[in-house]
Amino acid sequence: MTATAPTPAAVPRHLAVIMDGNGRWAERRRRPRIIGHRAGARAVNVCIDFCLERGIRALTLFAFSSENWGRPQEEVGALMKLFLNALDREVEELDRRGVRVRFIGERERFSAGIRERMRAAETQTLANTRLDLVIAASYGGRQDITDAARALAADVAAGKLRAEDIDEAAVASRMALADLPPPDLFIRTGGDHRISNFLLWQLAYTELWFTELLWPELDAATLQQAMDDFAGRERRFGLTSAQVADALPEKTHA
Ligand code: FPP
């Protein structure tokens, strides 16, 4: 391989997605925003199907940010109802298809009913291995880092860890998704080019891909476009192109 050759075609092991544009999709149709969220729930299935078909092993979806609680009460309430219904409706099928479901974020902020469904979905699907589906709900990247810092401080205070031994691995092991490879590819729909307090730590070397398409419009062709773009990128992880070319293929995609 020459120094300028792209890295070999690769399927991301872990895909992270900001599903943006539900509200605008509905507003363009002069419908209430919740209709857009309902259409967005259908697009979630498109994305899960795609991951299962292409052998993507982990999918993290940003369903509700810590900041989304500040939306009009009517929209938050309708979204909660939608989450409840989706959990009731989809878990059997996800389980049947080998999907392991988990939730990250401030679970205690949700109602007892939603928390119970989250726990039940995680328990039912725990042994599955085909796809890790992570739903980030009331999640914030800064909060995730803050929680890790608090856990480190507690371990230092308890004498389990010395402050001078705190390194990146020690932080990483206390963050959400510590057991998964970091996302290889990040996709955001809806036209905005920002991370919006999603997986701040975990996205350090993730390839970013943006589309103007609104989330409810998502289809397999768009996801394939992102895959093709990803496959053509050279991931250097802070090294030079020549060093990457000399590295083992699996290393270049670590
Ligand atoms: C952002 O669009 C989307 C959300 C805040 C909610 C995402 C929820 C879903 C896709 C529905 C179901 C999800 C699961 C996991 C069952 P926006 O409202 O910010 O859109 P806008 O930028 O056009 O206003």
Tell me the per-residue pLDDT of 229-240, one tens digit each, with 9 for 90 and over: 999 998 878 888
- DSSP-based three-state secondary structure for 79: helix
CB atoms < 10 A from the CB of 254, how many? Answer: 13
Regarding the beta carbon of 71 and ligand 1, being less than 6 Å apart is answered no
Shortest-distance Cα residue to atom 7 of ligand 1: 63
What are the structural domain ranges in the chain?
A: 10-144+181-250
Tokens for 244? 């990457």
Which uninterrupted H or E stretch holds 221?
helix 220-231
137 half-sphere exposure, CB direction, 13 A CA radius: 21
Q: Band of the pLDDT at 245, cuts 50, 70, 90?
A: confident
Tokens for 76? 């938050």
Regarding the beta carbon of 19 and ligand 1, being less than 6 Å apart is answered yes
Going through the chain in order, the beta strands assigned E by DSSP cover 14-18, 58-65, 99-104, 131-139, 185-188, 207-210
Regarding the beta carbon of 213 and ligand 1, being less than 6 Å apart is answered no
Summarised one tens digit per residue, pLDDT across range 14-65 is 999 999 999 999 999 999 999 999 999 999 999 999 999 999 999 999 999 9
Q: Band of the pLDDT at 249, cuts 50, 70, 90?
A: low
Phi, psi of 204 (to 5 degrees): -50, -45
The CATH number of the domain covering residues in 10-144+181-250:
3.40.1180.10
d(CA 234, CA 252): 8
Q: Helices 73-96 and 33-54 meet at what angle, rounded to 10?
A: 20
d(CA 4, CA 40): 40
Strand partners for 60: 16, 134
pLDDT value at residue 254? 43
Regarding the beta carbon of 83 and ligand 1, being less than 6 Å apart is answered yes
Shortest-distance Cα residue to atom 24 of ligand 1: 23
Substitution site in 19, 47, 48 for ligand 1 pocket (most atoms within 8 Å of beta carbon): 19
Shortest-distance Cα residue to atom 15 of ligand 1: 63
Cα–Cα distances in Å, from 75 out to 61, 66, 146, 250? 19, 15, 28, 44
Determine the atom of ligand 1 nearest the C-alpha atom of 83.
16
Regarding the beta carbon of 90 and ligand 1, being less than 6 Å apart is answered no
CB atoms < 10 A from the CB of 25, how many? Answer: 23
Going through 98-204 in order, the beta strands assigned E by DSSP cover 99-104, 131-139, 185-188
